[in-house]
Amino acid sequence: MSKLSFGQIMRRNCEIDDQAGVMEFQGQWYDWAFLAETIDGLADIFREFQVPAGAEIAVVCRNRPHQVAAFCAVISSDRCVAPVNPFASAEKIVADLQDLKAAVVIASSADWESPVLQAFARENKVLGLSLDESRNTEHLSVLPTRQPADPLILAPQNPGVAVLIQSSGTTGKPKRIPMYAAKLSAAYGNIPAGMTADGGAKIKTKPALITQPLVHIGGLFWVVHSLLDARPISLLDKFNVAQWAQAVEQYQIRVCSLVPAMINMVLESDLPAEKISSLICVRSGTAPLSVNAQQTFEQRFGIPILPTYGATEFSGAVCGWTLEAKKAFGDVKAGSVGRAYDGVGLRIADPESGEILPMGETGILQVRSQQMVNEHDWVSTTDLASIDADGFVWLSGRADAAINRGGFKIIPNEVAAILEAHAQVKEATVVAMDDARLGQVPVAAVELCEGASGVSEASLKTWAKENMTSYFVPVRFAIVDALPRTSSMKVSLMDVRRLFDS
């Protein structure tokens, strides 16, 4: 990695050819001058309003050029991005901002039309920055909620942290994980610094195709990686098979990343193989990919899939497949998530005693990596795994109760708590059911309050869509007279699952 900071590399890349395209969205290209203007414009605003280095900047992150540019501009200013999920309701977004104690918020002008978001900014004298997506230049403006002369409300500070990304967690409330710029460097490897030593241009010709959301570690990783590498990007706001295939064909993409749910969507479509024939491989991560789906995809399209495994806490992937490993072991090791990357140590520990287990035995996967904040510490994951004689990692399932819905982790108790806020719901229990496309989906058993009326599965689903993040919404509801219980009066999760067997 160059000794230059992320921001210095990215800003310098804008000078290679400022009229060349840097981001494509829905057929429209934005040039490197657009990115440079955003970087410089935000830096000027931060200076004017005395926002210190290391301050947390909340960004409502959509996979659109203006938000991506703002995201990168915050990192370039040596401040810390706190990505906010744009798919949540306005109330959920404000709740997230309140948890962050956000003093600086960047969102699109359309997002700022929300009365709830406006009220939050006004009542807290937030420095609100608006992105006008109808403009390619001079698209940054400051909301009238704050003036430069106003007493400074200091934003929380995280010196050295590039991104404070939210992890959905597995055993409790989602928490934010600090991703240090220095550790991201280790995750990205030896990223070229854009220019040659003599100042020659090195802008890449083929764009990277971004399929995952910017609020997710996968989307974040490939956006920043590409722009540091002076590679343009093509953005998908939401994954759509036809749009994805069109981009692959148009730009002759050679490598792209698809989560298992996306791979299943491609398999469910009638996409002709020749449409994506430029691909030499597909990388897949964030959730387990079934061997059947992988082999079906490879046979149908003639394109190898290279699974990876990682987590937000590790600043990205810690093990995975390479094309070389695929050629040597592909058929024999189908189902493995690959081998440890350079600089990563993996081992298996007994779930009860913590004793390190020998090769081939199943236990809790532990990771030690130079990508992590404490690179010499072993960190236990929540995944059960084994490591074979060739160093390949085999996952056996999660050691906790979290639901992994196509890469989005859901805590059942959190969904149940939201359902129990319904005026006619006495108690709810949420469990995971297997799903061919997404891996797992949540389902809910609901016991109604005495005298409740007019409540149906359809009405519960409608209510849930209005009151929780979209991927939290259970796909099915079972309304029961009483939740099944064990002899100790705990709800029997096994019996709850049986309610959905038919």
DSSP string, 117-149: HHHHHHHTT-EEEEE-TT-SSS-EEE-TT--TT
Give φ, ψ of 135 to 5 degrees: -125, 145
Determine the pLDDT at residue 174: 59
In sequence order, the 6+-apart residues with CB closer than 8 A to the CB of 144 are: none
Determine the pLDDT at residue 133: 94
Report residue 488's pLDDT band, with 50, 70 and 90 as the boundaries: very low
Model pTM score? 0.78
Q: What sign does the dihedral 363-369-371-377 (CA atoms) show? A: positive
By percentage, how much of the chain surpasses pLDDT 70?
A: 91
Question: Where are the domains positioned within the chain?
Answer: 31-179, 247-398, 403-498
- Asked if the domains at 31-179 and 403-498 fall in one CATH topology, the answer is no
**Is the pLDDT assigned to residue 341 strictly greater than 50?**
yes
Report residue 194's pLDDT band, with 50, 70 and 90 as the boundaries: very low
Residue 223 has which token pair?
């956006």
CB burial string 266-287: b at 16+ within 10 A, e below: bbeeebeeebbebbebbbbbbb
**Is the pLDDT assigned to residue 202 strictly greater than 90?**
no
pLDDT digits (tens, 9 = 90+) for 142-190: 999 888 777 767 777 888 888 888 764 433 355 788 888 776 665 555 3
Report residue 502's pLDDT band, with 50, 70 and 90 as the boundaries: low
The answer as to CATH 3.40.50.12780 being correct for domain 247-398 is: yes
Span 229-250, average pLDDT: 94
Determine the pLDDT at residue 188: 59
Q: For all residues of the chain together, what is the average pLDDT?
A: 87
Stated as kind and residue range, the H or E segment containing 25 is: strand 21-25
Question: Cβ–Cβ contacts within 10 Å for residue 182, how many?
Answer: 15
pLDDT digits (tens, 9 = 90+) for 311-320: 777 777 889 9
Measured CA distances, 485 to 443, 451, 497 (Å): 17, 22, 12
**CA 213 to the chain's CA centroid:** 6
Span 29-47, average pLDDT: 96
Question: 241-251 and 260-268 are packed helices; what angle lies between their axes, rounded to 10 degrees?
Answer: 90
Widest Cα–Cα separation across the chain: 79
**Is the pLDDT assigned to residue 242 strictly greater than 90?**
yes
Measured CA distances, 84 to 398, 494, 501 (Å): 26, 35, 36
Residue 252 has which token pair?
């002759």
**Is the pLDDT assigned to residue 207 strictly greater than 80?**
yes
Q: Single out the residue of 397, 405, 485 nearest to residue 440, CA to CA.
A: 405
CATH match for 403-498 among 3.30.300.30, 1.10.10.10, 3.10.20.70, 3.40.1360.10 = 3.30.300.30
Rg (CA), the chain: 24
Name the CATH architecture for the domain at 31-179: 3-Layer(aba) Sandwich (3.40)
193 in Cβ contact with 4 (< 8 Å): yes
Span 59-69, average pLDDT: 95
Measure the CA–CA gap between 89 and 114, rounded to whole angstroms.
10
Measure the CA–CA gap between 477 and 472, rounded to whole angstroms.
13
Determine the pLDDT at residue 186: 56
When mean pLDDT is compared across 150-159, 168-177, 257-266, 404-413, the lowest value belongs to 168-177
H helix and E strand count, the chain: 14, 25
Beta strand 403-405 with 21-25 is unpaired
Determine the pLDDT at residue 197: 47
Determine the pLDDT at residue 33: 96
Span 463-478, average pLDDT: 94
Of residues 171 and 396, more confidence is placed in 396
Give alpha helix (H) positions in 5-64.
6-13, 32-48
197 in Cβ contact with 333 (< 8 Å): no
